[in-house]
Amino acid sequence: MKKILFFLLATIMVTAQKTETINLSKSIKDSKKTYKSFTVIDQRASAEIGAVQFHKDQVNMVFENNADTDFKNWFYKYNPVRGNEELVLLLENIALSEETKEKYSIGKLEIRASTFIKKDDGYHFLYKKDTVTTVSSRTTPYLAQNLSKKLTLTFTDLLKKSYEARQWEFPVSEGELSDYTTILKDKLEILKADGLKEGVYKDYYSFFTHNPEAGFTIETDKKGVVTKAVNGEKKESIRNFYAFVHNGIPFKVIPVGYVEIFRDEQGLFIEAKKEELYPESNSPMIMFGGGIGGLIGSMVANVAISAIDANAAKKRSAMAGSEVILDPLTGNYILPQDFMKK
């Protein structure tokens, strides 16, 4: 009788557990054919990803084989013709969890992964993803399926951006990969220099490695607003650059103009509002013409905002800005919690 009861309980437990297999099916073709080989270094604390509920069943998210095999199969499927470099994918964390509320639940998928080019002197950083994606059961009951698709999209974006990324000149050894972020940040002069080099910086890499575009000077309009970068006969709108340093003050170019960059012990950050970093298509705050037109705002506050009418300036002064960190390894914004809800 005990054996029959044990068998029934085991059967119930098996049927109550299901799996959601990650489908790595999106194209990750490298049109430049740069890489001859692809290596996966799995530094996750656990090979288990996690589970969420579907009705009364527990659904485990799993790889078809394992992370190493599946990512390699995916890469080689879309890249049969290869070049000379070795691409390395570093898996730092893939974790699925669920937060249960009174009438619904929220599935959360955490992903942290990076890419490198492996050379004779070590690993040269390319790009990284450090994201948290959530899905509510109020939107869909299929939490595992939905988050599995988002996992595929996240790694698709990581690999495609890695193909285009500029490799860092500072190598790290294999033993340093677990702490590569700290090691690379320690090499960035701009995070510790007393004075910054005047000029314009085309992208985040040139800015954080403190290498302005050679030969360019900054041009302002009659009101003192920076509008262009000039190199002989060549003139470029300031909006075509990632950042610039003018009169010793660094500024970050944003969709509606530019704002001052500040520095503390954590790194570099700006003070901005959601409407400035992610303006709606019908927002009165825009950057237009050959650069920044019609200054509205206060240069005392080191802010230049271009707008169609004065209502934009009133709106800006009425809303408190948030500290938004600039990620030195990607140039992206690290947004504070609930920033997009403001």
Reported confidence tier of residue 208, pLDDT bands at 50, 70, 90: very high
Q: Tell me: the pLDDT tens digits for 180-189?
A: 999 999 999 8
For residue 275, the SS3 value is helix
* Residue predicted with more confidence, 327 or 296: 327
In this structure, what DSSP letter does residue 300 have? G
d(CA 290, CA 235): 10
Q: Which tokens go with 316?
A: 């800006």
pLDDT tens-digit series, residues 273-324: 888 888 875 444 333 333 333 233 333 233 454 332 344 444 555 556 789 9
pLDDT, tens digit, 9 for 90 and up, residues 140-157: 888 999 999 999 999 999
Residue 38: closest CA among 6, 3, 70:
70
pTM: 0.82
- Looking at per-residue confidence, does 314 or 193 come out higher? 193
List the single range of 93-97, 210-214, 296-300 with lowest mean pLDDT: 296-300
Domains (ranges, CATH) in the chain?
2-183 (3.40.50), 188-341 (no CATH)
- Quick one: which of 92, 90, 3 has its CA closest to 38? 90
Which residues have CB under 8 Å from 244's CB, separation 6+? 199, 200, 201, 212, 218, 226, 229, 238, 250, 251, 253, 258
At 320 the pLDDT is: 61
